[in-house]
Amino acid sequence: MSFASRCLSVVVTVLIVTFSAAYAHEPEGEPLLKPLELTVDEPAGVTGQGEFRYRQRSIEWPVEFKTHIGAAHGGFAPDRRSTGGDGSTWFCLKGVGLLNLSSDLGRLEVIGGDAAFRDVNVHNTTIFRGSGATFLALPSDQAQKVYITTTAGKVVRTLPNPYGDGGAAFRVCDVEFVDGLLFAANGYADNVCFVANPFVSKPESPATGVWNRLRFGGAGKKHGRFGTAHGITRVPGSDVFTVSDRANSRLESYSRAGHYIGGIELPAGCMPCDVDYHGRFAVVGCLKGPGGSTPAPIYILEDGNIVSEINIGRDLGLEGFSHIHNAAFHVIEGEDGEEKIYLLAYAWNPGNFAILEPVKGEGVDVR
């Protein structure tokens, strides 16, 4: 029986790094599996180890994207076929708006969108569906709002600062949709996570969303609290989601009711910004390396253990990748049914963007 099958047979015992059966036996509040240390010794032009070795893949950038990329400070929303999507990836860039990367990685298209979010920083991106339509949730740490838009970039609803006008700061970092609810991490302020039904509006104002009473988290180092609640990602096939606690260098998982389930520690000082999942693998983009070093790595984890360290700045020699703000898997299935796992990387300060393709002959069995 696979790791996934064993774990899915146990209620509310989902490991943050896609379904490790070992999680079911861990006491609540204890860290889970510790990452493995890696020895980096790769040829020029290649980064990573073992099954996950990569090189850069080129793509033509739209003029607007080239002009504004230095200010990049956001994240990806893969529209995966497994969830009814088309295999493309969505993200935002201040001054440009919505962008869509095609499923074959051959085209980066500027969608743009309403000025309300186009001209402010959108710190991450989430895709979800309802009533037969596809929507994007765009958290803006600058505007202190969450915009709900169509894939054409039209704002259909706005979730305002939950503290009200003139209240405490709502420097929202990320949002995630889990079984009808949208979770929002106020990571650049008080580290409280807020909850809303994105399809519900104020009766007197259909374009204004409403926050629920449920909230959890807050600042701190204890499990269930955050140093910086920077990213939120649903664990596929479950109602559990993972919060990337950047300042505390850890990933922590929560139930849909906001209850802390468990977590995993990453190397001290690496400041994980977000996590993405595929099968038994996870990818974690980090703002810094161990001990606060730069250029920062991207970690690939398998069942909770680091199995590859991707370092774009050090190993590939690409400029503008001192800090990785977001990384995501992009899976392309060949005619023979074999999956190739690509990586997308979004850097910050300075901003940059890269597509990484697996080195030929180093395929990964994800079955």
Q: What is the CATH number of the domain that holds 219?
A: 2.120.10.30
Residue 48 lies in a domain: yes
Range of the domain at 118: 3-358
Residue 364 lies in a domain: no
Q: Is the pLDDT of residue 1 over 60?
A: no
Strands of the sheet containing 260-265, edge to edge, are: 229-234, 241-245, 250-254, 260-265
Residue 367 lies in a domain: no
Q: Is 40 helix (H, G, I), strand (E, B) or coil?
A: coil
Whole-model pTM above 0.75? yes
Residue 114 lies in a domain: yes
Residue 13 lies in a domain: yes
Contact call for residues 4 and 14 (beta carbons, < 8 A): no
| The pLDDT value given to residue 104 | 97
Residue 332 lies in a domain: yes
Token pair listed for 131: 């009533």
| The pLDDT value given to residue 33 | 39
Residue 365 lies in a domain: no
Please give the tally of structural domains in the chain.
1
Q: Is the pLDDT of residue 116 over 60?
A: yes
Sign for the pseudo-dihedral over CA of 51, 52, 53, 55 = positive
Task: Give the pLDDT confidence of 43-60 residue by residue, as tens digits.
Answer: 569 999 999 999 999 999
C-alpha to C-alpha distance for 207 and 163, rounded to whole angstroms: 18
Residue 293 lies in a domain: yes
Average pLDDT over residues 75-90: 96
